[in-house]
Amino acid sequence: MSNNQQIFEDWLDGKITAEQCAMQLQHDPQWYARLQNTLALQADAKAPRFEPVPEFDSSALFAKQWQRPKLQRSWWPQLSLALSCAAMLISLSPAKFQLQDGSLTLSWHNSQSEINRAVGTALLAYQKEQQQWLVQQLDTQQQSTNSQLVLLKDYLQDELKRDQRSDMLQLVEYLNQQRQADWQYWQENYQPMQAGYRPASSYYSPTNTGVVKP
Amino acid sequence: MFKRSDESLIAKALNGDQHAWQQLVNRHQSALFYFGLRLLGSREDANDLLQDVLLVLCRNLGQYRGDSSFKSWLFGIANYRAMDMLRRRKYSDNDDELAEMPADAPGMPEQLANDRQQKQVQQQLRSLPLEQRLVLELKFYQQFTFDEIASQLAISSNTVKSRFYAALDKLRLQLEDDHVEQSANF
């Protein structure tokens, strides 16, 4: 490579300016002419082009070569799976979401002790409920027994009174019958005998209205 | 605004991101079209080359390994396709095609002067052999290094330089001729 060629290529590579190159090559007509021609070509290359570039729609070409129909992808199955996994994790983990008084709180708890405590509370409540029920039943039973006893007492008293009255009536009737029988026996057996011993006027004479004194 | 690298756009496009693909195409299609326009000489051929390169790019996007820059890799494809098109169509230097190129934006005197200068440079470039023209195109218009050009064309860096200086020398001779003609006209 000659020195001039080196100078020329240094200029082409941008290492020196066109003026520096021209100054160094001006004594060699061949290389100086090459420089001038190159400058003319560079000027032409930098000149704006007004030739309109034709419209060419390469979209169809590209679509045919590289575009594939988009997969009809639905996100619902993935969303459903993700929510199911989240629900499972929440239910299995000790984390506990609680919505109370308009605020959502996240708490961690021991599920076994929580269950034991809940079971104990439920059993205690059941025990109390059963005791109250038994007390109520006993009260009801007692009241029922008392009322039945009162009714029985009244019934027995009534029955006793009725029996006593009946006995008294029977007794009175019996006594009346005895007196009637005694009176008849006396009239039949002792009155004629008495009449024989004493004047009739000296004896009391029983009548239907009473006893007539002598 | 944050500009994504070509590599990240490719990665997104490979995952089916059409927006990334469109960004990648928008970033490079102008360079590819003007490359084709200068090299092939007509809008139709340049458009065909652009579509052809984008088709190949789309099919082979997954094969980009990042060993070189994406632009270098892309122009490797473009070079191959352009050379293929030129060989198949037996491209001949026909100034009529270049003359058919529209005069672009009207009005501005500076722009008209630029257009005239551009046409002159393009005409001189088109008179060069294809391999030499390709080297100048890649070196000056696409800003590739000699090593990148060598890699794209699958030749040695010295061969690239040889073609480069040969092209500059031919261009020099023609420019001198133009100057002579212009002087004679005066």
What pLDDT sits at residue A1?
A: 66
Q: Region A32-46: what's the mean pLDDT? A: 87
pLDDT tens, residue order, chain B (186 aa): 567 788 888 888 888 888 888 888 888 888 999 999 888 888 888 988 998 898 888 888 888 888 888 899 999 999 999 888 888 876 454 544 444 444 444 455 556 666 677 777 888 888 888 889 999 999 988 889 999 999 988 999 999 999 999 998 888 655 655 554 554 444
Q: Of all residues in chain A, what percent carry a pLDDT higher than 90?
A: 34
Domain membership of residue A20 (yes or no) is yes
Residues linked to residue A96 through DSSP beta bridges, in sequence order: A107
Closest CA to A31 of B137, B112, B168: B168
Query: A168 and chain B: CB distance < 8 Å anywhere?
Result: no
Residues of A in contact with B168 (CB under 8 A): 34, 37-38
What pLDDT sits at residue A71?
A: 64
What pLDDT sits at residue B98?
A: 47
DSSP state of B61: G
Domain membership of residue A34 (yes or no) is yes
Q: Region A136-142: what's the mean pLDDT? A: 95
Query: A51 and chain B: CB distance < 8 Å anywhere?
Result: yes
DSSP state of A27: T
Contact B171 A66 (CB under 8 A): no
Query: A33 and chain B: CB distance < 8 Å anywhere?
Result: yes
Closest CA to A35 of B145, B171, B134: B171
Domain membership of residue A19 (yes or no) is yes
Of A10-14, A101-105, B87-91, least confident by mean pLDDT is B87-91
Domain membership of residue A155 (yes or no) is no
Domain membership of residue A38 (yes or no) is yes
What pLDDT sits at residue B105?
A: 45
Neighbours of B76 (CB within 10 A): 17
Contact B172 A67 (CB under 8 A): no
Q: How far is B80 from chain A (nearest CA, A)?
A: 21
What pLDDT sits at residue B109?
A: 57
Contact A47 B118 (CB under 8 A): yes
Please tell me the total count of domains within chain A.
1
Domain membership of residue A91 (yes or no) is no
Of A142-151, A158-167, B22-31, least confident by mean pLDDT is B22-31
Nearest CA in chain B to A56: B51
What whole-number distance in Å separates Cα of residue A47 and Cα of residue B30?
A: 14
Q: How far, CA to CA in Å, does B54 sit from each of A52, A95, B50, B141?
A: 18, 61, 6, 20
Q: How many CB pairs under 8 A join A and B?
A: 90
pLDDT at A38 over 60: yes
Domain membership of residue A27 (yes or no) is yes
A200 pLDDT band, cuts 50/70/90, is low
A91 pLDDT band, cuts 50/70/90, is confident
Return the higher-pLDDT residue of A93 and A119.
Answer: A119
Task: Please state, rounded to an integer, the average pLDDT across all residues of chain A.
Answer: 84
Contact A30 B136 (CB under 8 A): no
Contact A51 B136 (CB under 8 A): no
3-state secondary structure of A177: helix
Q: H or E stretch including A186?
A: none
Residues spanned by the domain of A33? 3-42
Nearest to B22 among A43, A50, A59 (CB): A59
Return the higher-pLDDT residue of A49 and A37.
Answer: A37
Going along chain B from its start, the domains and CATH numbers come out as 1-92 (1.10.1740.10), 108-186 (1.10.10.10)
Closest CA to B20 of B31, B1, B7: B7
Domain membership of residue A62 (yes or no) is no
Q: Region A129-148: what's the mean pLDDT? A: 95
What whole-number distance in Å separates Cα of residue A21 and Cα of residue A44?
A: 20
What whole-number distance in Å separates Cα of residue B35 and Cα of residue B46?
A: 8
Q: Region A107-134: what's the mean pLDDT? A: 87
Name every residue in B having a CB less than 8 A away from some CB of A.
13-14, 16, 18, 21-22, 25, 29-30, 33-34, 37, 43, 47, 50-51, 54-55, 58-59, 61, 101-102, 104-105, 111, 114, 117-118, 121-122, 136, 140-141, 165, 168-169, 171-172, 175-176
